[in-house]
Structure formats: structure tokens, C-alpha cells
Amino acid sequence: MRLLSRLDPDSVLREAAFVQLLSGRITATLATQIQSVVVGWQLYAMTRDPLTLGWVGLAQFLPMALLVLPAGDAADRLPRRLILTASWLTQAVAGVLFLCLTLSGTSSPTGYYGALVLFGMARAFAGPGMQSLLPQIVGEARLPKAIAWNSSAFQVAVIGGPALGGAVYLLGPSVAYALCSLLFAAAAVSVALIRKPLPARADTSRQSAFARFTAGIVYVRTRPIILGAISLDLFAVLLGGATALLPVYAHEILHTGPAGLGLLRSAVAVGAFTMGIYLGRNSLQRRAGTTMFTAVAIFGVATIVFGVSTNFALSFVALMIMGAADMISVFVRSTLIQLATPDAMRGRVNAVNMLFIGASNELGEFESGVTAALFGTVGAVVLGGAGTLAVVGVWMWLFPALRQVDRLDEVRTTPPGG
């Protein structure tokens, strides 16, 4: 109560429905991060093959890629709260499958890949549902503040999740998977209990299913600023993503255990959270496009530094810088998408965004595993960082409109071709 009395009267934290959504996001993200650490460590210890980590990413990406466009359409036609609730409950079921596999004592990763496929299917619906539900709850006037709080809350969970996952793993992977299932279930309950009346969907079109599914792609394709921002993040993280190889670095280069792996994974989030707090207090007022390109270039340089480092402290700092730079890109991209998209289209446009994010993360993990098998772990990371720098140069040339964006609110109701 004292905290609420100190808040600005117009603060989104006074909105009970937003707090419930935020609580669910934190809890589900915490579970995802714990699960990611445990699955990566367990399967790499089982096979000692870096390519295994690539298959972990691919098993999550493929079902998400196949289902995310229909999921976006569903988010524009069905209650988004129910979609998000069902998704998180399904992820809890995936956690139970991981638990059963661990208790069975199997030495084959095949069953784990199957559980990851189910998890990827659920994530396909969670992404568009979550991002599209946010503007419904807070309204467009308070949307930038809500995005800042939502991003910061996400980073809090990303900071704590990997470290907690490494610590819980010491009690056994079965304990970690049981905890993940409980957290996903709690997140589902938090969203299911939202009682605020939500506005009805505005999309009552009679288009074919194919036309509805691809409407988000058409919308993004005809707006170069949005397309440039999303695709920049896709290729930069796809090439420069080193986090998939962290179990290898922890095992063989930095010589640390699961707790150290958790700290390394948390380092990225520490940097992102710190930058998120800064952005919340010092909004990007001018030169947003140039700032975004600069941040992605810094991400590439930090990736190269991490790749060649054999010192835990230096690696930790490099990962922090990567997280801070990526946070700037995430903030700009998220704000562009939400402000430039009408509510009736948000599910499908956010589905396209999630498809790009998934490609850069999960597919990036597969790419990292393959290149590590071909060129060695260090060579793969350094090559990826150099590739990110090349992408920045090419995208500045391909998307001059994005480079020239000054104020973020300029893109509100961006017309086709702008």
C-alpha cells in the first residue's frame, strides 16, 4: 500500500490487470531460463557434442516457426488472455515430460527433443498473445511506460533464472524440472485471474485463412522502417549469438561448473536490465535509428571479445555489454512495432516479430552448434561477431529510412512504404 501511494497517479503499476500480467511474465520467463540452463547442461553432459546444443535450438524453433502465423491470427480473433493461459499451461506439461524423462534414467536425448518440440509449439502462441494483450490492458497512452516495465521485468527474470537454474541443478535436474512446471502453472493462473474488461477484437474480416495468416507479413513488408528493425535484429543475433555455446565455454574454456554457467547466462541479462533502467529514466529522445545501429555494432564487437577470452571476469563483462547493446535494439524495435500497428493487426504483426526473434535465437543456436562443429567453438563465436558487424554496414545501406529515424513517435501510424 505504501508503494502504491508513492507511485504517480497515472502509473501503470496502479493497474491490477497489468500487475497480474507482469507477474505472469516474470514467473514464466524465470521458468524458461531455469529450464534452458538445465536442458543445455544435462544434454551436453550426456553427449559431449556441441551439435547437441544446436539440435536443442532447432527442436524449439521449427514448431514455433510453423505455428506462429496461425497463432498470430488466433490472437486477433480469440481472447488473448485465454490463449496466453493455455500456452503457459502447455509449457508446464512440457516441464513434467522433462521430469519424467529424467526420472526414467534414459541416456538418449531423443525424448528431450520431443518435449522441446511441445515447448516450442506452446511458445508460438504465448508470444503473440502476450505482446498483443499488453496494449489492451494499459491503452496506447501508457503503452511506452508499460513496454519499459515489461522489458525490465523480463530482464529481472532473465538475470535470476540462469543463476537459479545452475544452483537448483546441484539438487538434481528432476528438482529443477519440477520447479519449472510449478512456475509455468503459477504464471497461467496469474493471467487467468485477470478480470479487467478487455476491448473486443476489431478484426471481423471474412478473408481466407491464408490471407489472414500472411496479413502480418504483408504489413511488415510494406513498412521499411519496421522491416529493417526486425531483420537487423534477426541477422545480428543469428550470426552473433554466443549464448548457445556457453555450456562449452563453461566446461572446456573457462573451466567452471553449472553455477558458473548460470552466472554467465545471467551476465547478458544484467547488462540488459541496467540499460533498461537507464532507458526508463532517460528515454531515447533523438537519433533513435543511428543509436540502434551503433548498439548492434557494439554487440558484435563484444561478441568477438567474449569469443577470444579465457578469463571468467572478462567474459562476464563482455556478455554484460552484449546484453546492454541488445536491450537498446529490443526497446527500439518493440516501440516501433507497437506504435505503428493498429490493435486489430497486433497479433499477426507480433507473430511476424516473434518469428524473426525465434529465428535469431533458436535457429541461431543451431547455427552456433553447426559452426562450432566445423570451425571450433572460439572460431564460431568470433566469426559470428564479425558477421554482425558486416550486417550493420549492409543494413545501414539497405534501410536508410530506419537510419534516419529521429524520434520514435514519428512512426505512429506509419504509412505503407514509410
- All three cell numbers of 180: 519449472
Distance separating alpha carbons of residues 176 and 258, to the nearest angstrom:
13
Cα 369 to Cα 32, 33, 226, 307, 377: the distances in Å are 20, 19, 30, 14, 8
Kindly state which CATH superfamily the domain 10-193+213-411 is placed in. Answer: MFS general substrate transporter like domains (1.20.1250.20)
pTM: 0.72
The H or E element containing residue 226 is helix 224-240
Distance separating alpha carbons of residues 402 and 393, to the nearest angstrom:
13
In tens digits, what is the pLDDT along the chain, a chain of 418 residues?
444 445 555 567 777 888 888 899 999 999 998 888 888 888 887 877 767 777 887 788 788 888 888 888 888 888 888 999 999 999 999 999 999 999 988 878 888 999 999 998 998 898 888 888 888 887 766 777 777 777 777 777 777 777 787 788 888 889 999 999 999 999 999 999 988 656 655 555 566 666 776 777 788 777 788 888 888 877 777 776 677 778 787 777 887 777 777 788 778 878 887 887 777 666 666 787 888 899 989 999 999 998 888 888 898 999 999 988 888 888 888 777 777 777 777 788 878 877 777 666 656 666 677 777 777 778 888 888 888 899 888 998 988 888 887 776 666 655 555 5
What is the residue-wise DSSP string for 233-271? Answer: HHHHHHHH--GGGHHHIIIIIS---HHHHHHHHHHHHHH
Distance separating alpha carbons of residues 369 and 246, to the nearest angstrom:
11
